[in-house]
Amino acid sequence: MKRISIWSLMVAMILFACDSIEDKKGRFLLKGNEKLEENDPKSAIGFYEESLKLDSTYADAYFNKAIAQLRINQLENAIADFSKAIQYKTDYTEAYFQRGLTYLDNGEFYKAREDAEWMKENAKEDWKSFFLAGLVQEKFKNFDEALLAFKKASSLDPENSDLLVNQATILYYQKDLESATETLVQAESINPFEPNLHNLKSMIAFDQGNYEQALESVEKAIDLNNRQAYFYNNKGLYFLYLGKIEEGLDLINQSLRMDPNNPYALRNKGIYYVLMGDKISAMQYLEELHNKYPDMDLVEEYYQKAQKL
């Protein structure tokens, strides 16, 4: 038995030694992909790095490594690896798309715009080209251009409900609540399980003064995706308006623990302190927001109320 085991091991070693570099690097890539599917991005990165040791120009390994880095919020590293993927595969459209999205998340809007322009020039029939362009224009508050880009994306992928939700979001920013609602009806007919759809429905209901409906819609959003900080923040705001002050504060604080830099959650905390009659605490939040984001909904109203306490 011992001789058979040793012989089997020797055969396996010989076969492995005969593997080409292409086979070996591909095997590491697949192992990394398996770890990524198991939600173990750190182990996945290790396998992708082993693949890159065998071939430092392996574009797919750089791309997948970047995706794993996004899972652990390493935006700068992800951008660097998407760029490497593009360096070694100059027509890597998906790498341009993902890098553009990551630039947006990292606050590098002009660089994201460059990737969107490349995609619009080189991948005219890909809805992602115009989706990215729309997101960029949204960041620059060029809402008319953003809406046109999202509509173009929808024309290329009519069954994509997310693109309709993006259109509705722009219409909401433009205060065209009727058109935004009509667009959400279209989106819901395609996919009623899109959480952002229900969150936006809640925001429209809130603006219309229907706080109970707003609460019902945002709770649907949370049921569908319980990992979005801004859903909890919106629910907290609706509780404040429904008189459930402390419950509202708990949700706003939960949202801030998930995303400490959300100015809307900081605004809502200021609103809480106005409702509690605590001028000093309210001004700590609202004065800075009034200076930085004077056009943010409710900031001016509650800043004035705080001053009068």
pLDDT at 178 over 90: yes
Q: Kindly report which listed range (15-29, 80-94, 144-158, 237-251) carries the lowest average pLDDT score.
A: 15-29
Residue 99 has a CB neighbour count (10 Å cut-off) of 28
The Cα 26–Cα 48 span in angstroms is 10
Q: Percent of the chain, pLDDT > 70?
A: 94
Q: Above 60 in pLDDT, residue 271?
A: yes
State the Cα–Cα distance between residues 57 and 52, nearest whole angstrom: 7
Residue 4 pLDDT grade (very low, low, confident, very high; cuts 50, 70, 90): very low
- Which residues have CB under 8 Å from 162's CB, separation 6+? 187, 194, 196
Q: What pLDDT does residue 261 have?
A: 83
Q: What is the pLDDT of residues 143-168, one digit of tens each?
A: 999 999 999 999 999 999 999 999 99
pLDDT for 19 beyond 70: no
- Strand, helix or coil at 89? coil
Can you give the pLDDT at residue 6? 52
What pLDDT is attached to residue 158? 95
Q: How many C-beta atoms surround the C-beta of residue 145 within 10 A? A: 16
Residue 57 reports pLDDT greater than 80: yes
- Listing DSSP states for 75-88 in one string gives HHHHHHHHHHHHHH
- Which stretches of the chain are DSSP H helices? 2-18, 21-37, 41-54, 59-71, 75-88, 93-105, 109-122, 127-139, 143-156, 161-173, 177-190, 195-207, 211-224, 229-241, 245-258, 263-275, 279-292, 299-307
Q: Which domains does the chain show, CATH number per domain?
A: 19-90 (1.25.40.10)
pLDDT for 24 equals: 86
pLDDT in the model for residue 20: 77
Cα–Cα dist 238/211, whole Å: 6
Share of the chain above pLDDT 90, in %: 87
pLDDT at 7: 45
pLDDT over threshold 80, residue 13: no
Residue 26: which pLDDT band, with cuts at 50, 70 and 90? confident
Name residue 161's amino acid. Answer: S
Write down the residue that tokens 């001016």 correspond to.
Answer: 300
Query: Does the model's pTM come out above 0.95?
Result: no
What would the pLDDT profile of 110-141 be if each residue is shown by its tens digit? Answer: 999 999 999 999 999 999 999 999 999 999 99
Residue written as tokens 């070996």? 24
